[in-house]
C-alpha cells in the first residue's frame, strides 16, 4: 500500500474546546483534570504525620510511628503530581485506509491531539510513540503547549505512516523505556496482532496503567453492500481472494464481531481498560464516559 501523499486532515476545534471545558471543573466532573484519581490505586503520595483525630479512618494510623512518638499518628497524603501519559499509536498501513472521508489515522490523530491538549492544560506530561514494526517517531513525555504542537505535527506528517505494525515490538519498547505506572494509551485498529498477544498485554498492564483504544472503519466490522466481486486480503498472511460480498457477508460480519469481543476481553482480563471507536462517530462522549467510569472504579 502506498504511503499517504498529503498531510492528514485533522480538525481539532470543537473537540479540544469540549475537553478543555470539561477539565476546568476537574474535581466535580471526574474527567481528565482529576484523572490522577482514575489511575489505579489511591493517586496519593505520603506527605507527613499528624495527630490522630476521632473522625479519622483508623486504617491511616501508623502504629510504628505512633509507638515511637507515644501518641497516635496518622499518615497524611497529597494528590500525586506530574502524572505521565504516553500515547502509543499504530502508524501501520491499515491505519491509512478508509471507506469514508476520514482515515483511521486521521481519526486517531484528532483523538490523541485533543486528549494531549487537555492533559497538558491540566498540568501533566504527555509523550508519543508512533510505531510500525519499528520506532517511527518518539517524543519523550513533556509539558507545555510547545509539546502539544510537537506531538500534533508528528501525528499529521504523512511520512510517519505506512508499513507493518508489530504490537509485541511496540509494547516491548514501551516496557524498556517508560516509568512504572505511566498511563499508557495504546491506539490502534488492532487488525494485525501477534499469534499470542496475551503475555505482552499482561506484562504491559502489570507495569503501566494501560488503556487500549480500538479505532475501526465501518468496513472493518461489516461487509460493505456493493455490487460485483471484491478482493479480500488477510492482513496477517497476505493471502487474497476474490469473493461475492453477499455470499460471505454473514461469516465476515460474525468473524469481525468475534475479533472485537476477543480483543476487548484480552484487555479486561488483564485489568486494563478497553474502548472501541468507529470513524463515523464522535469520540468525545465515549471517551468522557470511559474516564468517568474509571474514576468511579478506582476512587477510594
Q: Over the stretch 84-105, which tens digit does the pLDDT of each residue have?
A: 899 999 999 999 988 888 999 9
Looking at the structure, tell me whether residues 75 and 124 fall in a common domain: no
**Average of pLDDT values for 223-248?**
66
Looking at the structure, tell me whether residues 173 and 205 fall in a common domain: yes
Which one, of 149, 113, 139, 125, lies nearest residue 35 by Cα?
125
- Higher-confidence position of 288 and 249: 288
In the predicted structure, residue 278 carries a pLDDT above the cut 80: yes
Distance, in Å, from the CA atom of 128 to the CA atom of 141, rounded to the nearest integer, reads 7
Query: What is the reported pLDDT for 2?
Result: 42
Local confidence band at 249 (pLDDT 50, 70, 90 cut-offs): confident
Which one, of 177, 116, 180, 123, lies nearest residue 150 by Cα?
116
Local confidence band at 223 (pLDDT 50, 70, 90 cut-offs): confident
In the predicted structure, residue 135 carries a pLDDT above the cut 90: yes
Query: What is the reported pLDDT for 253?
Result: 83
Looking at the structure, tell me whether residues 70 and 196 fall in a common domain: no
Query: What is the reported pLDDT for 20?
Result: 54
Looking at the structure, tell me whether residues 110 and 181 fall in a common domain: yes
How many structural domains is the chain composed of?
2
Looking at the structure, tell me whether residues 95 and 202 fall in a common domain: yes
- Higher-confidence position of 97 and 34: 97
Is residue 209 one of the residues assigned to a domain?
yes
Looking at the structure, tell me whether residues 135 and 278 fall in a common domain: yes
Looking at the structure, tell me whether residues 66 and 178 fall in a common domain: no
Is residue 143 one of the residues assigned to a domain?
yes
Query: What is the reported pLDDT for 55?
Result: 77
Looking at the structure, tell me whether residues 69 and 97 fall in a common domain: no
**Average of pLDDT values for 187-197?**
87
**Average of pLDDT values for 209-217?**
95
Query: What is the reported pLDDT for 130?
Result: 98
Query: What is the reported pLDDT for 30?
Result: 38
Q: Which three cell numbers stand for residue 115?
A: 486528549
Is residue 2 one of the residues assigned to a domain?
no
Looking at the structure, tell me whether residues 21 and 158 fall in a common domain: yes
Looking at the structure, tell me whether residues 209 and 72 fall in a common domain: no
Mean pLDDT, the chain, integer: 81
Is residue 276 one of the residues assigned to a domain?
yes
Query: What is the reported pLDDT for 75?
Result: 81
**Average of pLDDT values for 10-27?**
54
Query: What is the reported pLDDT for 31?
Result: 46
Give me the helix-helix angle, 13-24 and 104-121, nearest 10°. Answer: 30
Q: pTM for the whole thing?
A: 0.77
Q: Are 217 and 279 in contact (CB under 8 A)?
A: yes
Looking at the structure, tell me whether residues 69 and 184 fall in a common domain: no
Query: What is the reported pLDDT for 14?
Result: 62
Looking at the structure, tell me whether residues 133 and 269 fall in a common domain: yes
Is residue 129 one of the residues assigned to a domain?
yes
Is residue 190 one of the residues assigned to a domain?
yes
Domain of residue 212: give its range. 13-26+81-221+252-295
Per-residue pLDDT of 61-76, as tens digits, reads 889 988 988 999 988 7
- Higher-confidence position of 293 and 272: 272
Is residue 31 one of the residues assigned to a domain?
no
CATH number (domain holding residue 159): 3.40.50.410
Amino acid at each position: 500500500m502506498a504511503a499517504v501523499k498529503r498531510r492528514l486532515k485533522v480538525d481539532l476545534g470543537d473537540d479540544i474546546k469540549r475537553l478543555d471545558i470539561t477539565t476546568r471543573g476537574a474535581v466535580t466532573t471526574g474527567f481528565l483534570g482529576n484523572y490522577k484519581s482514575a489511575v489505579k490505586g489511591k493517586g496519593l503520595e505520603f506527605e507527613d504525620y499528624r495527630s490522630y483525630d476521632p473522625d479519622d479512618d483508623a486504617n491511616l494510623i501508623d502504629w510504628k510511628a505512633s509507638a515511637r512518638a507515644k501518641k497516635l499518628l496518622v499518615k497524611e497524603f497529597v494528590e500525586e503530581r506530574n502524572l505521565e501519559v504516553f500515547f502509543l499509536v499504530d502508524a501501520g498501513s491499515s491505519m491509512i485506509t478508509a471507506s469514508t472521508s476520514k482515515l483511521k489515522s486521521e481519526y486517531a490523530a484528532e483523538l490523541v491531539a485533543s486528549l494531549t491538549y487537555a492533559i497538558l492544560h491540566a498540568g501533566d506530561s504527555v509523550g508519543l510513540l508512533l510505531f510500525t514494526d519499528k520506532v517511527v517517531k518518539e517524543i519523550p513525555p513533556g509539558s507545555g503547549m510547545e509539546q502539544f504542537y510537537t506531538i500534533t505535527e508528528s501525528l499529521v506528517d504523512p511520512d510517519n505512516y505506512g508499513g507493518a505494525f508489530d504490537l509485541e515490538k511496540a509494547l516491548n519498547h514501551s516496557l524498556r523505556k517508560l516509568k512504572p505506572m505511566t498511563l499508557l494509551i495504546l491506539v490502534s485498529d488492532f487488525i494485525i496482532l501477534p499469534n499470542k498477544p496475551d503475555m505482552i498485554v499482561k506484562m504491559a498492564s502489570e507495569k503501566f496503567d494501560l488503556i487500549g483504544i480500538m479505532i475501526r472503519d465501518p468496513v472493518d466490522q461489516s461487509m460493505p453492500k456493493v455490487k460485483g466481486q471484491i478482493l479480500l486480503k488477510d492482513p496477517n498472511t497476505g493471502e487474497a481472494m476474490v469473493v461475492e460480498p453477499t455470499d460471505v457477508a454473514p461469516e465476515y460480519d460474525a468473524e469481525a464481531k468475534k475479533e472485537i469481543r476477543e480483543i476487548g476481553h484480552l484487555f479486561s482480563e488483564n485489568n486494563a481498560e478497553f474502548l472501541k471507536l468507529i470513524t463515523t462517530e464522535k469520540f468525545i462522549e465515549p471517551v468522557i464516559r470511559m474516564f468517568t467510569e474509571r474514576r468511579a472504579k478506582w476512587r477510594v
